[in-house]
Structure formats: structure tokens, C-alpha cells
Amino acid sequence: MGKDIIKIFQIAAVFIGTIVGAGLASGKEITEFFTSFGIYSFLGILLCGLLYITIGSIICKISIMYKLNSYGDLMKTISPNILGKLTGIITTLYLISSASIILAGSGALISQCFSVPKIVGTLIMLILASIFLLRGTCGLITVNSFIVPALIFTITLITIFYFIFSRDSVSLTTISNYPPKKDGILISTILYTGYNLLCSSGVLVPLSTEIKRPRIILTGITIGAIGLTLLCFMINLLLSANQPYIYEYEIPLLFVANRFGSFIQALLLIIILLEMFSTEISDVYSISRTLEQTFNIKYKKGIFIVLGLALPISQIGFTNLISTLYPIFGLLSLIFIAQCIIFYIRHNIRD
């Protein structure tokens, strides 16, 4: 029983860690997808959490029943046609792009913090990622089991501090006074959910097949989704109370944390760096598992192939490509969700 509880919380941590990334930890994603919709943003986040549980459970049940080992296997199973192949190719390109940008971003952040050349920071991230990736699923779980509790602690701390020391500037009136967008919360929520689930499928699929116990997996996903929802609620509350200033910053939460001194700011920057590290591991893990299943390339060899591609790309920049892929990836994520649901219902998949 004790081991089962540990596994459940490990799955929850991996699920949260894979989805969070630096975008959510910095507040940028919540700002873009939710905060601008005012009070309705909280309903959007709640719906997002429910979709995580529903679609995440469907992905895991399909993976266990058909013994799938990668997101490539999942695409072929739910969509054994040109669309499935296209989704797999675009997903791979997107994840390589993401991994490259994270290497570049981490290099810049480490360079800024410790006054070393950017390439040094990039190589530090690459070496550390390799060490954990070589441990396979165990490495993925270890990283997230440490990073996710640290993230939740930091965001909770900032939220508590904000409401203790800024009571005069925070109220529901303040939040509702800024004119919200009137339309689009539903499509924004579904796009955000689909994008995250398509990204996280590369981790959820092999994890489900390795553990082979639907109840443990589904409980872990449910707890993870609840944790994500609460995390997003806190971040959205902080951002909503600081409109319109947050729209001027690349790291909106850093603006919120500014009033609490350099220690809290440094803590938040460390968390963002750790989340970049977590996303890097998740991306490379997902692609390496797919290479193993699709091209029969050994997982450990795949790690170095992916990182070998990501390193030079990180030095020349991949921003234009990822901005081109992002809308396509968003559209494919909606198709992906629909195909998962249709496949699940058509094949009458149960626990």
C-alpha cells in the first residue's frame, strides 16, 4: 500500500512537471491563455483541470491496452493514416525545437546569474540532462519528485506573502475592474489543454505501459491535475490583481515577486531554471522513446542523437521555426484530442 501511494505521487509529480515548464512557472502562459479573460479565466482553468483528468485517463487506458511505448505508437494507433504520421512528425519537430530553445534559454539565464559565457550554461544543462536521461523513466521521476514540490512551495509562498503584505491593493473589485476579453475563453482553454496533453503524451504513454496498473496511473493523473489546477489558480490570482502591468513583462510573476526582495526573486528564478531543466528532460525522453520504437534506435543512443541535434540549433536560434510550428501544433492538438475520444468510444475501452 505504501509503495502504491509513493508511485501515485510520483506519477502526479511527473504529470505536473511535464506540463508546467518555464512558461507556466514564469506566469507567461497563464497571462496569454487565461488572465485576460477576467473572472471567467478561473472557470477556464477549472475546465482545463477536468480535461486533463478525462483525456489523460483516455491516453493511459489506450496505452496500457495496446502496450504502447511512445507518442509515435499512440499516433499510429488512434490515427493509422497520413494525419497520424503528420501529427507524429510535427510533434517531433516541435519537441526538438522546444529542447533547443530551452538549452539556449538556460545558457542565457546561467550566464546572466553567474557571469559565464552562454555556451557554458548550455553545456551544464546538457550534461545534467544526460545524467538523468540515462536513468530512463527512473531519472524522469527523480527530477520531477524534487522540482514539483519546490515549485508548489515557491508559488504558495509568493501567494501567501502577497495577500499578507498587499491586502490594500488586492480585492475582487481590483481583479474585475480591468476590462476583460469578452469572447474566446473556451477555445483558449481547449487549445491550451490540447497543446499540453499532446506534449505530455510522450511521457504518459511509456509511463502507463511500464507501470501497467490503470488505477495507480489514473489516481496519479487525477492528483496531478488537481495540483495543476490549484497552481494555476494561485498564479492567475496573482496576475489578475496586477493587471495591466503584467503584460509588459516576459516573466510576469517576477514583477509580482519584486516587492518581496531579492531572496524571493532569486527563488523564483531558480524554480524557472529547474522547470526548464524538467521540460528539457521530458522533451528528450519523449523523442528518444519514439526513435526507439519507430527506427529501432536504442533509447540511450537516441538521447545523444537528440541532444546532438539540439545543441547546435540552440546556438543559432529556433524562434522563427517554433513560432511557425506553434499554430500548426495547436490545431493538431485539437484533432489529437478528438481522435483519442473517438477511438476510446469506438473501441469501448475500459479499465
DSSP per residue over 174-198, as a string?
Answer: HHHHSPPP-S-HHHHHHHHHHHHHH
**What's the rounded Cα separation, in Å, for the pair 286 and 284?**
5
CA-derived radius of gyration, the chain: 20
Nearest CA to 246 out of 24, 28, 14 is that of 28
| Residue 154: CA count within 13 A, CB half-sphere | 25
Cα maximum dimension of the chain: 61
173 located within any domain: yes
119 located within any domain: no
**What's the rounded Cα separation, in Å, for the pair 67 and 73?**
9
Number of folded domains that form the chain: 1
**Phi and psi angles of residue 313, each rounded to the nearest 5 degrees, phi first:** -65, -35
Alpha helices in 115-259 (DSSP H): 118-133, 137-165, 172-177, 185-211, 214-240, 252-257
116 located within any domain: no
14 located within any domain: yes
Segments of the chain with pLDDT less than 50:
none
pLDDT for the residue 177? 61
pLDDT for the residue 161? 86
Nearest CA to 221 out of 18, 3, 56 is that of 56
123 located within any domain: no
Answer whether the bond into residue 252 is a cis peptide, omega within 30°: no
Residue 351: which residues within 8 A CB-CB, separation 6 or more? 61, 214, 215, 218
Task: State the helix-helix crossing angle for 185-211 and 319-346, rounded to 10 degrees.
Answer: 70
| In contact, 293 and 66? CB cutoff 8 Å | no
pLDDT for the residue 44? 95
CA 317 distance to own-chain centroid: 21
177 located within any domain: yes
274, burial (CB in 10 Å: exposed 0-12, middle 13-18, buried 19+): buried
pLDDT for the residue 74? 93
pLDDT for the residue 16? 93
pLDDT for the residue 146? 92
pLDDT for the residue 55? 94
127, burial (CB in 10 Å: exposed 0-12, middle 13-18, buried 19+): exposed
**Full residue range of the structural domain in which residue 38 is found:** 2-100+131-346
115 located within any domain: no
337 located within any domain: yes
| In contact, 60 and 218? CB cutoff 8 Å | yes
Average pLDDT of the chain is 86
Residue 254: which residues within 8 A CB-CB, separation 6 or more? 26, 265, 268, 269
Task: Please tell me whether residue 341 adopts helix, strand or coil conformation.
Answer: helix
